[in-house]
Structure 1
Amino acid sequence: MEADMVGLSFIILGIFLFIGKWLRVLIPLFQRLFLPSSLIAGLLALIVGPEVLGQIFDLFTSEDFVLQQGFIPEEVLLAWEELPGLFINIVFASLFIGKDLPSIRKMWDIGGAQVVMGQLLSWGQYVIGLVLVIFILTPIFDVNPLVAGLIEISFVGGHGTAAGLAGTFNELGLEEGTDLALGLATVGVLSGVIIGIIFINWGARTGKAQEISENQGIKMEEETGIIEFDDREPAAQLTTKPESVEALSIHFAYIGIAIGVGAILLEGLVQLEQFTWGAWTDIELMVHVPLFPLAMVGSIIVQILSNLFDKYNIIDRGMINRISGFSLDILIVSALGTVSITAIGDNFVPFIILGAAGLIWNVLAFLYLAPKMIPTNWFERGIGDFGQATGISATGLLLIRIADPQSNTTSLEGFGYKQILFEPLVGGGLFTAASTPLIAQLGPVTVLIIAGIVTIAWLLIGIFYFGRKNKG
């Protein structure tokens, strides 16, 4: 592919992001749903591309019609198809760089109940997906059993993880996996916000949401996504002189190092597998695991080394956030813009069953398990776990901010600590990345037994350890 076409693909992607942002500002429905501008932009790109508009033109025009593929050139779409697999590494390599890494004890004391609740939700999603595959989806609809992992991959991992696992899906013969996962991720984000807001209104009326009353509204800046002029703060801090090195460049270099460390770790695991359990059992997992979860481990290593040796504190978390946020926006637009609606349509009933089952599990867990597992402020803390389990961490943060606008509880702090103990394993972590290869190698029944044992373990810890603590 020529370099100028790659450049054009970014220009067109930027145009869609621009339109998506202003659609969010101008359309009240998008504001009430708290849709990210990148999600709006990606869906718009999908609509005006070959999968929707192109199909309409195909019905009424000849094959040589200039808009036969919609408004997005085929070469641009080919470039977009490569972007998610690249930018997901940047997103995950940014997770812990520039963050304070408190002691495990402190994280567990403050956020332990949320860690347990989040783990229970994620592992429960695997159990539900595997049960559906074993008893319904594969026997009745002849669906590939590898779809069993899509609920957790899509709901908790989100669009980024779904797109980042495209290579793994294709290697294992689940070519429709990426499209189904991206569709489920979109369902998750929309449902997480809508159901979460319903829960908060219900909590305000019943007194379960103690930090918000019925007449407390949502700030306009939350709806439009634009910060009021007087409330604006610097996006990041310059930690290096531009004549020495641009601050953005050195922060990007730190992220690159984290990705490099992750690549070394992954290659080491691949070689270890080939000479140990891979050679003994003919079971290969690591060769199908993508780079991004190891890039996350790399970010932890880079941060630990920075704490030990960087006396100048060069890393600014705000700058890392900007790089990560930019990468995630690029990833979401390019991934959604290249979704195959045909693949979803061919598997529509299984798609609906997976999405509905995942949502039912999350709702029931929040209503009936969160009060028993989270000893204090269960609503404010549990709503964040529900949001993340349905529509990624950003949805969880949004719901926490609405339910606890003054941060009077430990919900926000606990949610932050939770990510450090949560994301290395699920929600885009090592098990999320390895779940599909595991199902392919061990079979859904074996993985169901494993996931079931882990789910029960988290449930027992939640009820009998945290649930018995003084509710104050």
Structure 2
Amino acid sequence: MSAEIVGFSIILIGILLLLGKWIRVKFSIFQKYFLPSSIIAGFIALLLGPEVLGKIFILFQGEETFLSDGLFPENVLDSWSTFPSLLITVIFASLFLGKRIPSLKEIWFTAGPQVSFGQTIAWGQYVFGLLLTLLVLTPFFGLNPMAGALIEIGFEGGHGTSAGLEETFVELGFADGADLAIGLATVGVVSGVVIGIILINWGVRKNKTNILTDPNDLPENKLRGIIEQGERPSAGKITTSPESIEPLALHIAVLGVAILIGKGLLEGLIFLESITWGAWTDTEIMTYLPLFPLAMVGGVLLQLFINKFDTFRLVDRQIILRVQGFALDFLIVSAIATLSLTVIGNHLVPFLLLALTGIVWNVAAFILLAPRMIPNNWFERGIGDFGQSMGMTAAGLMLIRIADSKGETKSLEAFGYKQLMFEPMVGGGLFTAASVPLIYQFGPIPVFIFCLVIMLGWLGLGLFYFGKK
């Protein structure tokens, strides 16, 4: 794959994002449900690619038709297919860079209720996904037992995690799992935003919210996704003189160091496994672990080092977030654009059952458990966890900003702190990455029992400790 093709592929995604933003601005239906431009752009690419437009031309003109791959050349699609696994590493490496790492005590008292609620949802996705697989999907549809992890990977993990685990699925003999996970991530994001808006309107009507009166009263430009000129925040602080080093280049270099630390940790774990339990039991887990969760750990370690030794405070969180947002938008477009509808079509009923199970569990948890586990401002704080559990942290942040636009309930602060005790394990963390290898090595029943015990533990903590406060 030449550098020219990679560059052309990036330009095409940029054009698709511009088209997606134009559609978001012009058509109220997309504004009403706050669909991100990247999701719209990804669907446009999917429709114009080999899975839709290409199939239509093949149907009427045969296999040799000029547009059998749609509007995009095959080498561009091949290039796009490599983007998600690269970009997810950038996203996870940036999660904690440029921000103060608070003490565990501070996190616990500020975000403890949300930690217990978010963990309950995440482990519950494994519990109900594995239960569905054991009782229905494997015996009646012959689906690989590893499908039991797909709800958490697709919904809680999102597009990045789903795409990042593609090689793991292939190596373990369940190649269709990656496409099913990306499909579930797409369903999760779209339904999460739509259902989230419906829940906010329901909360207003039923007096469940403490701050918001009517989300339909939002300004027109807010709905379009445009910030008013007088309200536009700074995109980041320039911490170095551009003639010495461009600030953006500095921050990208820092991200590279975090990723390199993660790579070293991963190689160390693989080596440790090869001389210990791997050699004793012939069991391999770390070999199938992708890089991105360790890149997140690398980011945390690097930030701790920066906090101690960087007296100039050269790493700016806002610039890191801009790089993270760039990577996320390009990841979503490329992941949806290369989604295999054929694979989803071949497993349509199991796919729909998995999607329905995930949606029902997430909605039920928000309505029934959040008010009993989060003692103060449960709606404003819980709606963020609901959005994240459906596929995107960004969706959770968006729903919080709608429900509590001025930050009166400290929901954003608690949501941010929660990630430090959440992301390292689930939602794309270490257990999310290891769940598929664990099911492959030990079978679905032991993993189901383990997840059930963990879920009940977090549920009990939320109900009987935080819920009583």
* Residues in 2 aligned to 1:96 and 1:249: alpha-carbon distance in whole angstroms: 18
Partner of 2:161: 161
Residue 62 (structure 1) shift: 4.1
Partner of 1:96: 96
Greater displacement, 134-143 / 392-401: 392-401
Unaligned runs of 5+ in 2: none
* Residues in 1 aligned to 2:233 and 2:198: alpha-carbon distance in whole angstroms: 31
**1:292-351, CA deviations, whole angstroms, 9 ceiling, x for partnerless residues?**
000000000110000111111110111111111111111111111111100000000000
Contact 2:200/2:215 (CA < 8 Å) preserved in 1? no
Contact 2:293/2:429 (CA < 8 Å) preserved in 1? yes
Partner of 2:239: 239
Q: Which amino acid aligns with 1:281?
A: T
Provide the secondary structure at the position in 2 that maps to 1:117. helix
**1:421-454, CA deviations, whole angstroms, 9 ceiling, x for partnerless residues?**
1101100100111111111111000000100000
* Residues in 1 aligned to 2:202 and 2:64: alpha-carbon distance in whole angstroms: 55
Seen in structure 2, the aligned counterparts of structure 1 residues 285 and 222 have a Cα distance that, compared at 3 Å, is: farther
Partner of 1:217: 217
Greater displacement, 448-457 / 365-374: 365-374
Q: Which amino acid aligns with 1:401?
A: R
- Number of aligned positions between the proteins: 469
**1:369-427, CA deviations, whole angstroms, 9 ceiling, x for partnerless residues?**
11111111111111111111113211111111111222211211111111111101100
Matched, 1:123 2:114: no
Partner of 1:318: 318
Greater displacement, 460-469 / 388-397: 388-397
Partner of 1:258: 258
Percent of aligned positions that are identical:
55
Partner of 2:465: 465
Consecutive aligned runs of 4 or more in structure 1 exceeding 6 Å deviation? none
Partner of 1:148: 148
Residue 216 (structure 1) shift: 6.0
Residue 211 (structure 1) shift: 1.1
Seen in structure 2, the aligned counterparts of structure 1 residues 78 and 182 have a Cα distance that, compared at 3 Å, is: same
Greater displacement, 226-235 / 349-358: 226-235
Seen in structure 2, the aligned counterparts of structure 1 residues 86 and 214 have a Cα distance that, compared at 3 Å, is: closer
Greater displacement, 276-285 / 343-352: 276-285
Contact 1:288/1:437 (CA < 8 Å) preserved in 2? yes
Contact 2:94/2:296 (CA < 8 Å) preserved in 1? yes
Considering only aligned residues, what root-mean-square deviation do their CA atoms show, in Å?
A: 1.1
Q: Which amino acid aligns with 2:123?
A: W
Partner of 1:329: 329
Contact 2:289/2:434 (CA < 8 Å) preserved in 1? yes
Partner of 1:227: 227
Provide the secondary structure at the position in 1 that maps to 2:392. helix
Unaligned runs of 5+ in 1: none
Contact 2:121/2:362 (CA < 8 Å) preserved in 1? yes
Partner of 2:357: 357
Seen in structure 2, the aligned counterparts of structure 1 residues 293 and 210 have a Cα distance that, compared at 3 Å, is: same
Partner of 2:380: 380
5 Å-filtered alignment, 1:395-434, equals 395-434=395-434
Residue 105 (structure 1) shift: 0.9
Contact 1:191/1:391 (CA < 8 Å) preserved in 2? no
Q: Which amino acid aligns with 1:300?
A: V
Contact 1:110/1:410 (CA < 8 Å) preserved in 2? no
* Residues in 2 aligned to 1:456 and 1:213: alpha-carbon distance in whole angstroms: 35
Residue 222 (structure 1) shift: 3.3
Contact 2:114/2:374 (CA < 8 Å) preserved in 1? yes
Residue 282 (structure 1) shift: 1.3
Provide the secondary structure at the position in 1 that maps to 2:243. coil
Partner of 1:37: 37
Matched, 1:186 2:186: yes
Partner of 1:304: 304
Residue 180 (structure 1) shift: 0.7
Q: Which amino acid aligns with 1:116?
A: S
**1:172-212, CA deviations, whole angstroms, 9 ceiling, x for partnerless residues?**
11111111111111111111111111111111111111211
Matched, 1:79 2:41: no
Seen in structure 2, the aligned counterparts of structure 1 residues 221 and 416 have a Cα distance that, compared at 3 Å, is: farther
TM-score normalised to structure 1 length: 0.97
Partner of 2:280: 280
Provide the secondary structure at the position in 1 that maps to 2:218. coil
Contact 1:212/1:403 (CA < 8 Å) preserved in 2? yes
Contact 2:201/2:215 (CA < 8 Å) preserved in 1? no
Seen in structure 2, the aligned counterparts of structure 1 residues 62 and 136 have a Cα distance that, compared at 3 Å, is: closer
Partner of 2:61: 61
Q: Which amino acid aligns with 1:20?
A: G
Greater displacement, 264-273 / 200-209: 200-209
* Residues in 1 aligned to 2:168 and 2:344: alpha-carbon distance in whole angstroms: 18
* Residues in 2 aligned to 1:12 and 1:168: alpha-carbon distance in whole angstroms: 28
5 Å-filtered alignment, 1:15-54, equals 15-54=15-54
Q: Which amino acid aligns with 1:149?
A: A
Q: Which amino acid aligns with 1:250?
A: L
Q: Which amino acid aligns with 2:369?
A: L
* Residues in 2 aligned to 1:401 and 1:274: alpha-carbon distance in whole angstroms: 47
Residue 8 (structure 1) shift: 1.2
